[in-house]
Structures are given as structure tokens and as C-alpha cells.
Homo-oligomer: A and B are copies of this chain.
Amino acid sequence: MSAVNRQIRLARRPVGVVRPEDWASTEEPVPSPPEGWFLGRTRYLSVDPAMRGWLDDRPSYLPPVGIGEVMRAGSVLEVVESAHPGYRVGEFVTGTFGVQEYALSDGSGAHRVDPGLAPLPTYLGALGMPGMTAYFGLLEVGALREGETVVVSGAAGAVGSLVGQIAKVKGCRVVGIAGGADKCAWLTGELGFDAAIDHRSEDVRRALRDHAPDGIDVYFDNVGGPILDAALSRLALHARVVVCGAISQYNNEGAVQGPSNYLALLVRRARMEGFVVFDYAARYRDAARELAGWLADGRLTAREHLVKGGVDDFPATLQLLFDGANTGKLVLELA
């Protein structure tokens, strides 16, 4: 076991794009767990668009990461030392343990996971927060009904790829918007989407007219910006726009670009609604059971985009999200 615990801390608040100088790499001695605690070694780190919001000092659904604090992150730990009666060495847990090689836990916020039931990275994806986000965002906030037309942006990402697949399970027509021909081919091929729009090479508004000729019943937005406006221009009557994220806007140095077409909500008697997945925590277990069932019978495909490296690779890995470089759930696998 390494004698040091390497950690990535927030050194200063980024303005716009996150820069290497915004982070600090630090070392601490690996702690020993006191009575009632266990020590885990980080095996997989979750790298998420929401992280960008946690770096800004403004009121949000979670307090911002403090300057000098270990960066907040979900991860899969392997228990390597235990003074907790409920956790044995060799077990795996997920939780919000931060961008560091080792973490102590008293078990609060830790969830035991079984590598025999699903690959460990899947517990950060389809069976983790992205899975919960897709599930509750689409079914509860989006109030999806069978036979509707669903459009999802960021469709090749962790959440978007699950949103589209869940909508297919529910008997809907699904159109994904993603950046690049490879991603689009994956959506309509392996994932079974009815259509995919490559926003890098296509006019999204025109393509939506072709692929959602009767209008969009549920638009699940992960990106904001011009794609949100294009979707608003094609809403069906009584449509629901689910505001999950706005990755196109997170690195803006100035104001967020608001949806110029928001008056479509009036014309189409539609609603736009935001949510935070944590509000559904009491129902995670049931959702995970249903998602695991769909994974088991092949109706759902979980894909993780693994980057292998050390915690020092976290900053560069985070940037991949904003470059649109990942397909599926982005995970940093610690060597």
C-alpha cells in the first residue's frame, strides 16, 4: 500500500474554462481507520458535468467546493482496512468520497456494490447517479407516456444515453442529439434510437422537423444554448422540457444564454421543469432494481468511457466532457 494519499484540491475558482492552475495536487499520509470506520482505496472516479457547477461560488443545490478542499466526486472504493463491523476488506462501496486515492468512511453515504452483478464502473453510470437522473428525470419530471416522441440532447453521454434507452423500453419514439457521426451511429445502432442528429454537421432545427414531424412531447435537455432553442421551436402541445443540465453554458465567462424561444411554452401550453436527483433518494433502490433488470435482459446497454490514470489525471479527464470527447459515462480508473 502506498504510504501517501494523493488528492486533487480546488486551488482557486475557475473563470470560464477550468485551467490546470485551478487545481492543486497534494499528498497526505494514508490514514488508519479509527474504531467504527473503514479505509477505502479509490478504484474508479466518476467525472461529471455537474462538477463544473460545484466550482462556482453561487447558491445551488449543493454548497460550492471550498478553496483548498478535496474535489467532490463520486467513486468506487475497495475496502482495504476496516475497523467497522459492517465492512470487510475486499468489499466495494460507492459514495461521494472525493478525488483522492484513499478515503475514510464510517459507512454513512456508502453503498455496498457487488462486482458479480455488474462491472464496478457501471455503479457510477447506469446503476449510479446518471441512471437515477435519467430514470426520475424522464419518468417523473418528464411524465413520459407510452407512444410519445422523446428528444434528448447530450444523447451519447452518461445520462442522455440512458434517457433514450429508457424511453425505448417505455415504447416511445426516440431522437438523440449528439456531436459526431460515431456517437450518432452508436445511438441508432447499438442503443436502438429511432434517429440521431449530429449537431456538428446538421441543422438541428431542420433535422428535428424531419425526425419529430408531430412535435416533441418530452425534451430532455443536457446542453442548453442553441440546441435548447431548436427543441423549443418543435414542441408538441402540452410538451414537457426537462432541465437536467446545460453543459454548453457551464464554461461561459459571461451570462448563460437563456432560451430565446421560451415563449413556445405559451404557444404550445408546455412546461419546462428542473430537478435535482437527490430529491428522489428514497426511491433509488427501486429504480436501481428496475434498471438492473433491464440491463440483465439486454434492453439497456451500459457503456462507460474509461480513462486509466492517476488522480492527477482528473483535471484533464474533466475537460473531456466539455470537449464532447466521451461516449457513455466518463470514469477515471485509477491504476
Q: Using a CB–CB distance below 8 Å, which chain A residues touch chain B?
A: 59-61, 224, 229, 243-246, 249, 255-276, 279
In whole angstroms, what is the CA distance A269 to B60 when docked? 11
In whole angstroms, what is the CA distance A329 to B262 when docked? 26
- Asked if B274 and A273 sit within 8 Å, CB to CB, the answer is no
- Asked if A60 and B267 sit within 8 Å, CB to CB, the answer is yes
12 sample A-B contacts, Cβ–Cβ < 8 Å, listed by A number: A59-B267, A229-B258, A246-B263, A249-B263, A256-B262, A257-B258, A258-B260, A264-B274, A266-B276, A269-B274, A270-B273, A271-B273
- From DSSP, what is the main secondary structure of chain A's interface residues? loop
In whole angstroms, what is the CA distance A101 to B279 when docked? 58
Contacts of A245 in B (CB 8 A): 266
Residue of B nearest to A245 (CB): B266
Contacts of A273 in B (CB 8 A): 265, 270-272
Contacts of A272 in B (CB 8 A): 262, 265, 271-273
Known A269-B276, A269-B279; judge A261-B258 contact (CB<8 A).
yes
- Min C-beta distance of A273 to chain B, whole Å: 4
Q: Lowest 5 CB-CB distances: which A-B pairs, in order?
A: A258-B258, A266-B274, A265-B274, A271-B273, A258-B260
In whole angstroms, what is the CA distance A229 to B268 when docked? 22
- Asked if A259 and B257 sit within 8 Å, CB to CB, the answer is no
- Min C-beta distance of A48 to chain B, whole Å: 14
In whole angstroms, what is the CA distance A255 to B258 when docked? 11
- Asked if A263 and B256 sit within 8 Å, CB to CB, the answer is yes
Contacts of A268 in B (CB 8 A): 274
Other-chain residue from B59, B249, B266, B271 in contact with A271 (beta carbon distance below 8 A):
B271
Contacts of A249 in B (CB 8 A): 263
Contacts of A267 in B (CB 8 A): 59-61, 274, 276
